[in-house]
Structure 1
Amino acid sequence: MVELKQEPQRLTAYLCGELDHHHVKEIREAVDFAVREQLPPLVILDFSRVTFMDSSGIGLIMGRSRLMEEYGGVLEIHNPSAHIRKVLRISGADRLAAIRNQKTNKGGAAVYAYTE
């Protein structure tokens, strides 16, 4: 499942549940359509609600990385769990996109920090 949030300078895809061969096609089609329509300079894949990822999820990242390169944009991965970060590192997918984790400051505002 994916929820898309379009803003003038970025597209955020909030991914949810399992990123496996049963679910990735729907996500890929939705993100690709939005990228081609909006041409954002930044696409964020938010992994905060992802519970599982197999090689189909890696393929999702690889394809969106290539798509953003085509359009001169950037892909970022936000809020992956420790397990997903490990999968990204082992597969080399962490070299395709910056990985950032959200933290909150004393005022409760979201602050992002690069983890890789």
Structure 2
Amino acid sequence: MPVRVDNHEKVVTAYLEGEIDHHGAAGIRELIDRTVEQAMPEQLILDFRDVTFMDSSGIGLVMGRYRIMKELGGCIQVVNTSPHITRVMKLAGLERLDVLSKGGKTK
């Protein structure tokens, strides 16, 4: 599966990799959602460092996790996006949700 999930001190980090398309997004969502449900984190970090391609399924992935974390009273942050993925996310309006790291990168 193209995701590895770590849970540490109220922060769940999902390290995504490869292509996020309609074929793989369901499995990614299920694993992240199951971990969030069990851990009840204050923050969910979606790390896109190793994502090579993303279609609208990636936008749906972020939006769905945003809703879940909002319901839990937590927050979500999208980090390490390539310039192309950052642009796609901004065009989709994710910037208004304040989930993107500045420039899509973390230091």
- TM-score in terms of structure 2 length: 0.92
- TM-score in terms of structure 1 length: 0.85
Per the alignment, residue 82 of structure 2 pairs with 81
SS at match of 1:22: coil
Runs (4 or more) in structure 1 with deviation over 3 Å come to none
Per the alignment, residue 46 of structure 1 pairs with 47
SS at match of 2:106: strand
Gaps of 5+ in 1: 104-116
Q: Where in structure 2 are the equivalents of 1:17-36 lying within 5 Å?
A: 17-36=18-37
- RMSD between aligned alpha carbons? 0.9
Quick one: distance in 2 between partners of 1:23 and 1:65? 19
Decide which structure has greater strand share.
1
Larger radius of gyration: 1
- Say which of 102, 107, 110 aligns to 2:106: 102
Between the aligned residues of both structures, percent identity stands at 47
Per the alignment, residue 94 of structure 2 pairs with 93
Per the alignment, residue 5 of structure 2 pairs with 4
Q: Which structure has more RCO (C-alpha within 8 Å, separation ≥ 6)?
A: 2
Quick one: distance in 2 between partners of 1:27 and 1:57? 10
**What do residues 56-81 of structure 1 show as CA deviations (whole Å, max 9, x unaligned)?**
11000110000001100000001000
Quick one: distance in 1 between partners of 2:74 and 2:51? 24
SS at match of 2:18: strand
Aligned residues: 103
Gaps of 5+ in 2: none
